[in-house]
Amino acid sequence: MRAGRGVAVMLALALGACRSRDSGPADAGVLPPPSALSCEALLSPEVREALPGFSVKEERPCPTCGPLCTFRSAEQKDTAVSIAYDCRKRPEGTEPQDLLVPALRAGGTEVPALGKAAVRREPVQGMLQVSTWDDDTPCGIVVTWLGKDKERALDIARLTLFATTPERLMRAGEPHATPAPDAGPP
């Protein structure tokens, strides 16, 4: 598979995951708008260190989506990784199992003990997509790995969930946000 085509497939899948969930009413004053969030502020040093030699590019696939952080490596030309953030309030009464239904219907399998809810699926050969919903923020995070070592998508999803805290989310929404300091494990 050509690398350019793979990135286009990853972008389409991440955008579909962002748009496939219904958004709840905006929670003004608590959550920053999706346009205020950036990869620079949301990505933790641990996530960056887990992808040595990869450069990151931020994209905005839609006005209501958070950032799409795409990682590419000059050495591993056939490998691409993306992290899509969807941080918005969910409708009242939404249960974790409700969040899994679309991905499970698309052939995914539930991943236990990963955030509030998580599902993994392989939309195309050589690609693993992990959709997770954070425990302590309203963020849905989709990690897509295209290329060899695709099982690493689970590790990147865990690192990203751990780093996505209410404090990081609020700092990421501040003008000229800098990455939030990591307090480390509790």
Give the CA distances from residue 137 to residues 32, 80, 133, in Å, rounded to whole numbers and listed in that order. 12, 26, 8
Residue 149 · residue 79 · CB < 8 Å = yes
Alpha-helical segments (H) within the chain: 3-20, 39-42, 45-49, 96-105, 152-163, 166-172
Residue 171: is its pLDDT beyond 80?
A: yes
Residue 10: is its pLDDT beyond 50?
A: no
pLDDT at 177: 47
Q: Which residue has the higher pLDDT, 123 or 177?
A: 123
The chain-wide mean pLDDT, for the chain, equals 80
**pLDDT tens digits for range 30-59:** 578 888 899 999 999 999 999 999 999 999
Range in 22-26, 64-68, 180-184 with the lowest mean pLDDT = 22-26
pLDDT at 142: 95
Range in 54-58, 88-92, 113-117 with the lowest mean pLDDT = 88-92
Q: Which residue has the higher pLDDT, 6 or 91?
A: 91
CA distance 153 to 157: 6
**CATH architecture designation of domain 3-23+35-172:** 3-Layer(aba) Sandwich (3.40)
High-pLDDT (> 90) share of the chain, %:
47
**pLDDT tens digits for range 129-158:** 999 999 888 889 999 999 999 999 999 999
Global pTM? 0.78
CA distance 70 to 130: 15
CA distance 55 to 99: 31
High-pLDDT (> 70) share of the chain, %:
77
Residue 120: closest CA among 9, 79, 128, 51: 128
